Amino acid sequence: MRQTGKWLGLGYYLLLLLFLQLPILLLIVFSFNDSVLLVFPLKGFTLQWYRELLQATELINAAKNSLIIGVVSSVVATVLGGAAAIAIARYNFPGREFFLNIATLPLVIPYVVLAVALLILFQALKVELNLWTIMIGHTIINMPYVMLIVAARLSGFANNLEEAAMDLGATYWGTLMRVTLPISMPALVAAFLSSFTMSFDEFSLAFFLAGTQNTLPVYLYSQLRFPSRLPLAVTTAAVVIMVSVVILLFSEWLRRLGAGRPKV
Amino acid sequence: MENKRRLFALITPPSVFLLFFFMVPLVIMALYTLKASSFGPLLPFSFTAFENFFSNPSYFVLLLNSSRLALLTAVLSILLAYPVAYYLVFYTGARRVMLLTLLILPAWISYLLRVLAWKVILGSEGLLNQLLIQAGLIQDGAPILLYSQAAVLITLVYVWIPFAALPIFAAMERIDPRLHEAAADLGASPSVTFWRVTFPLTMPGVASAFFFVFIPTLGEWVTPTLVGGVSGIMYGNLIQDQFGRALNWPLGALMSMVLLVLVGVFSYIFNRFIPITEVPVSS
C-alpha cells in the first residue's frame, strides 16, 4: 500500500517536473537553433543569436534600465519596508492594524489596477514618465513583501536582546544599528534579492509607466509581435533564465542561512 | 515620549510613501471615473463612464468569464499541486526541500518568458500541433491551439502551479506526524486519516494558494494578449485597452475601480478565515 503510493507519487512528481521544465528547456534549445522559425526538427547548432544579442543595443539598454530600476527600487523598498517591519514587530501603537492593512494591500491589488492608478496620478501631476515612475511602482509592490519577511524574522526574536543592549548603556539608535539590524540582516538581504528579481521581471507596471525608455520585459513584449525577432527574444530568454537561476539559488541559500535562527 | 519619537521616525517614511504613491493614486482614480473625457477638466462631474459601463452587458459578461477562468485556473493549479505536495511531504524525507525547489524553479523565471514558451508550444506551427499531426490525430494545419480560451487556461495553470504548491507544501509540512500515528492507532484507515486529519489541516494552505492564484489571474491581461486572441481576452484587457487604443481613461478608471471593489470583497471574505497580515508584537 505504502510502496504503491510511493511509486505513484514519484511518477506524478516526474510528470509534473517534466511539464514545468520542458517549456523552459525548449526556449534554451531553440536559442541554439539555426533557423528563424521556432519549429522542429532543429536545423543545426548556432551561436548566431547569441552574437546578435551582444550587438542589440536597444536590448542591452533595456536590460541596463531593468538593472537600475531593480537595484534602486529594491533598496528603497528594503529601507522603507524594513523600517515599517521594525515598527510593527516592536511597537503596539494605535493604528497599527490599519497601517498593516494598508501596507499589505499592494499584495492583493491586480498590478494593472495599480499601474493605471499611478499613470493617472503622474498625468494629473504632469510628471513625465521615465525610469523613476517605474521605480515608484516597483517600490510599492515590493514594500509589503519586505515588511512581512523582516517582521517575521524580528518576531522570531524576543526584544530582550535590544533591552539588554540598552540596559548596558547603548543608545536606542546604537541598539538599532548594532543589535536590531544585524538580527534582521538575513531577512533584509533575502527581501532585497526577492524584490530585485520581482522588479527585474515585472511587466504590467513597467508597461504602463515606461516613458521612452523600456525595461527588459517591456522590450521583450514589444518584440513578441514580430516573428522574425522571436529567435532573439528566445535567446534573451535563455540568458535571463540562466542568470535568474543563479541569482535565485543564491538567495535561497541565504534565506536558509537566515532561517536557522539561534535560540535566544 | 522617547518611544513615541522613535516609532514616529520609523513609521513616517513608509507611511508617507504609501500615502503619496498608493492611497492618493487610488483616490484620484476614483475621482477620474467622474470625468467627462480623458483630457477635459474634472469639473463639472459627469456620469458618462458609469452610463457607458452599466449599459453595456458585455463588460459584465467578460468580468464573469474572467472570474470563471480565474476560478478554474486556481482550482486546476491546486488540484495539480496538491498530490505533489503530499508526495514530497509524506514520502521523500530529507530531500523534500531539494525536490520542491527543483519543481518550482520555473516560477522564478520571468513570467513573460514562460508565456513565450507556451506561445511556441501552442502556436499554429508549434510543437503540440506538429506532434498531433505526426501522431496522425489531426490533418495538417488543423486546430490552431493558440488564440483560444483553452490556451490561456493552460498557460495560466502552468504559470501558477508552483505558487499553488508552495503554501500547500508549507501547511502539510507543519502537520505533526504523531497525528497520523494516533489516527492509525485508533483504527482509522489511510483514506479516513487523509479526509479527517490531513485534508482539514491543509485547508489554510489550500486557501492561501487559492487566493494568491485567483486574485492576480482576475486582473490578468498579458497572457490573454499573447496566447488568447479575440476569444481569449479577459477583463484586464478591457482596462488596458481604455488606456491604450480606446483612450477612454475615465471608463478605464471605472473598470479598474470595479475590479478593485471585487478584489476587496474577496480579500475581506478571505481575511476573515486566514489573516495573512498577522504579525505578533514582541514588546
Instruction: Examine the pLDDT at A262 and tell me if it is beyond 50.
Output: no
Q: How many CB atoms lie within 10 A of CB A147?
A: 31
Which of A83, A152, A217 lies nearest to residue B14, judging by beta carbons?
A83
Residue A45: name the closest of A27, A29, A24 by CA: A29
Question: A255 versus A121: which is more confidently predicted?
Answer: A121
DSSP character string of A201-230: H--HHHHHH--SS--HHHHHHHHTT-GGGH
Residue B234: name the closest of B242, B247, B222 by CA: B222
**What ipTM was reported for this prediction?**
0.86
Question: Any CB–CB contact under 8 A between B130 and chain A?
Answer: yes
CA nearest to B235 within chain A: A112
Cβ contact B213:B160 at 8 Å: yes
Tell me what the mean pLDDT of segment A70-82 comes to.
Answer: 95
Question: Any CB–CB contact under 8 A between B8 and chain A?
Answer: no
Query: Which residues on A lie below 8 Å from B276 (Cβ)?
Result: 104, 107
The structure's pTM equals 0.86
Q: What is the band of A75 on the pLDDT scale with cuts at 50, 70, 90?
A: very high
Which of B32, B86, B127 lies nearest to residue A120, judging by beta carbons?
B32
CA nearest to A138 within chain B: B21
Q: What is the band of A215 on the pLDDT scale with cuts at 50, 70, 90?
A: very high
Q: How far is CA A6 from CA B33, B88, B90, B180, B183, in A?
A: 57, 10, 9, 17, 20
Question: Any CB–CB contact under 8 A between B221 and chain A?
Answer: yes
In chain A, the percentage of residues whose pLDDT exceeds 70 is 93
Query: Which residues on B lie below 8 Å from A172 (Cβ)?
Result: 2, 6
CB pairs under 8 A between A and B: 246
Rg of chain B, C-alpha, whole Å: 24
Question: Any CB–CB contact under 8 A between B192 and chain A?
Answer: no
Buried b (16+ CB within 10 A) or exposed e, A221-260: bebbeeeebbbbbbbbbbebbeebeebbeebbebbeebee
Tell me which H or E stretch contains B129: helix B127-134
Neighbour-count burial of B181, counting CB atoms closer than 10 A to its CB (0-12 exposed, 13-18 middle, 19+ buried): exposed
Neighbour-count burial of A103, counting CB atoms closer than 10 A to its CB (0-12 exposed, 13-18 middle, 19+ buried): buried
Instruction: Examine the pLDDT at A263 and tell me if it is beyond 60.
Output: no
pLDDT in tens, chain B (283 residues): 567 888 888 899 999 999 999 999 999 999 988 877 777 676 777 778 778 888 888 899 999 999 999 999 999 999 999 999 999 988 888 788 888 888 888 877 778 888 888 888 887 666 777 777 777 766 655 555 667 888 899 999 999 999 899 999 988 988 888 888 888 888 888 888 888 888 888 888 898 889 889 988 999 999 998 888 778 889 999 999 988 887 888 999 999 999 999 988 888 887 777 665 556 665 4
CA distance B208 to chain A (A): 12
Q: What is the band of A1 on the pLDDT scale with cuts at 50, 70, 90?
A: low
Which of A96, A204, A244 lies nearest to residue B108, judging by beta carbons?
A244
B112 and A119 within 8 Å at the Cβ level: the answer is no
Which of A13, A80, A154 lies nearest to residue B14, judging by beta carbons?
A80
Query: Which residues on B lie below 8 Å from A84 (Cβ)?
Result: 10-11, 14-15
Q: Which three cell numbers stand for residue A256?
A: 536558509
